Structures are given as C-alpha cells and as structure tokens.
Amino acid sequence: MNFTGIGTAANVLAIIAGALLGVILRRGLPERVEKILVEAISLAVVVIGIQMALKTQNILIAVVSLAIGAVVGEIIDINEWFNRFGKWAGDKIAHGDEAVGAKVALGFVTASLLFCPGAMAVIGAIQDGLANDAATLYAKAILDGIFAVVMAANLGIGVALSAVSVGIYQGTITLLAGVLEPIATPAVLAEITSVGGLMVFAIGLNLLKVTQIKVANLMPAVIPAIILAYWLG
C-alpha cells in the first residue's frame, strides 16, 4: 500500500539501517584498513561531486549562486547550527565524551550534505507528493543505504542522524509538490544538481583533509540557483 511520503520514509529507514550495519562492521576493522577505507570513500565522494557539478548548463549560474549562498550562509552560520545539533546528539550518545561527540557531529553534517543535494531527491519527492510514485526515492534509498554502511564504518553513528535532515528536506518537498512542480524544469534541476555537486565535491576534499570548507554555509546557494535557472531557462 502506497501513501504520500512513503518514499521518504523508506529513504530514512535505509539510512538508519545502513548506518547501524556500518557501526557493527566497524568493530572488526583494523585501524590501517579503516584509514584506507576513509580515503577510498572520500575519493568516491569527490568523483560523485564532479559528475553532479558537470550537469550545469550555465556555469555562471553556479558561480553567482555559490557566491550569494556563501555570504548568506556565513551570516546565518548554518554550519554552526548543524554542528550544535550534532554535538548535542553526540553528547547524549557519548555521555559527555567531547571527542566522540565531535565525531558524531562530523558524521551527521557530512552525511546530511551528501544525501540531500541532487535531482533524485527533488524529482522523487515531487513524484511522491503528486502521484504517490515513490520509485525514484526507492532507488535513492538503496544508494543512500549502501553509502551509509560505508560512511558509518568510518564516521560512526552520527551518519544515522542524517536521516533527520533527509526526512525534513524531502518531506517538505513532498508536501509542497503541487507548488514546486511548475518550477522544477530540466534547467532548474540541472543547476540544483550542479550546485549540490560542488558541495559534495567540497565534502570529499574535507574528508581527504585537503580543505576545511564550511560546506553547510553554502546551502543557501540552491535558492539563487533555482531563481536564476528558472528566469534564464
């Protein structure tokens, strides 16, 4: 039986299940294996980000959107809000152990920013809201679940908390599907994917410790990307 939102519910459950499995598997990994696994996944995230970023049909839209989004995000300091939630949850889980709490926060922020951007989330949530068609989100759930296993094996239980971000993000789009459908043109989806891809690319660089970009502060870039792509589309 299908109901509105079932695709997002499946996605949320897949992330939680994958993260729990990853935490269990992690216990048997030697430190050197864990290190190379982190590096391998980081490289995969970089490649995924590049593939997404190349979807743009107008690179100027991505450049302007990121510039605007970075300024707005830094003023609001979204990264700090994400970290506060992650650390709060981490403190509850780790009972005051700051090192564990910080790792929970890192897992939450990293996984949230990896699972939320992209056309699959937007298109799937709109289809789910308009036609109770959750096929796209089911496919996304499988992909996210697999990634959650590997990420949680390295970043810990904080990855499971990203299910909250995915639930709110995709659930909101599903509820507003009727309003968003006319706006979700191919040009708009391409630019959302591209901007999201640049953020995913930055996550990969952060995981490789090449940079320390506050990726969450770039999230507002999605809004000018939608406006510009729709206006120029």
Quick one: which of 99, 67, 70, 56 has its CA closest to 216? 70
Tell me if 48 is assigned to some domain.
yes
Q: For residue range 21-66, what is the model confidence (pLDDT) as tens digits?
A: 999 988 777 778 878 888 888 898 899 899 999 999 999 999 999 9
What count of residues does the chain have?
233
Tell me if 74 is assigned to some domain.
yes
The whole-number pLDDT of residue 87 equals 76
The whole-number pLDDT of residue 9 equals 95
**Which value, in Å, is the radius of gyration of the alpha carbons in the chain?**
17
* Helix%, strand%, coil% for the chain, nearest 5: 85, 0, 15
The whole-number pLDDT of residue 223 equals 92
Tell the residue number behind the tokens 């005051």, with chain if given.
96
The whole-number pLDDT of residue 47 equals 92
Q: How many angstroms separate the CA atoms of 114 and 166, rounded?
A: 10
Tell me if 36 is assigned to some domain.
yes
Average pLDDT for the chain: 88
pTM of the model: 0.83
The whole-number pLDDT of residue 20 equals 95
Tell me if 17 is assigned to some domain.
yes
CA dist list (Å): 92 to 88, 103, 159: 6, 13, 15
114 residue type, one letter:
L
The whole-number pLDDT of residue 94 equals 66
Tell me if 136 is assigned to some domain.
yes
Q: For residue range 117-161, what is the model confidence (pLDDT) as tens digits?
A: 877 898 899 999 988 889 999 999 999 999 999 889 888 888 999
Q: How many angstroms separate the CA atoms of 195 and 188, rounded?
A: 11
The whole-number pLDDT of residue 171 equals 94
Helix (H, G, I), strand (E, B) or coil at 210: coil
Tell me if 158 is assigned to some domain.
yes
Domain that holds residue 76: 6-232
Tell me if 1 is assigned to some domain.
no
Q: For residue range 168-180, what is the model confidence (pLDDT) as tens digits?
A: 999 999 999 888 8
Work out how many domains the chain is built from and give that number. 1
The whole-number pLDDT of residue 96 equals 63
Please tell me what DSSP assigns to residue 7.
H
The whole-number pLDDT of residue 54 equals 93
Q: How many angstroms separate the CA atoms of 202 and 199, rounded?
A: 5
Q: How many angstroms separate the CA atoms of 39 and 150, rounded?
A: 11
Q: For residue range 63-102, what is the model confidence (pLDDT) as tens digits?
A: 999 999 999 999 999 888 887 887 787 777 766 666 777 7
**pLDDT grade for 106, boundaries at 50, 70 and 90:** confident
Tell me if 177 is assigned to some domain.
yes
Please tell me what DSSP assigns to residue 216.
G
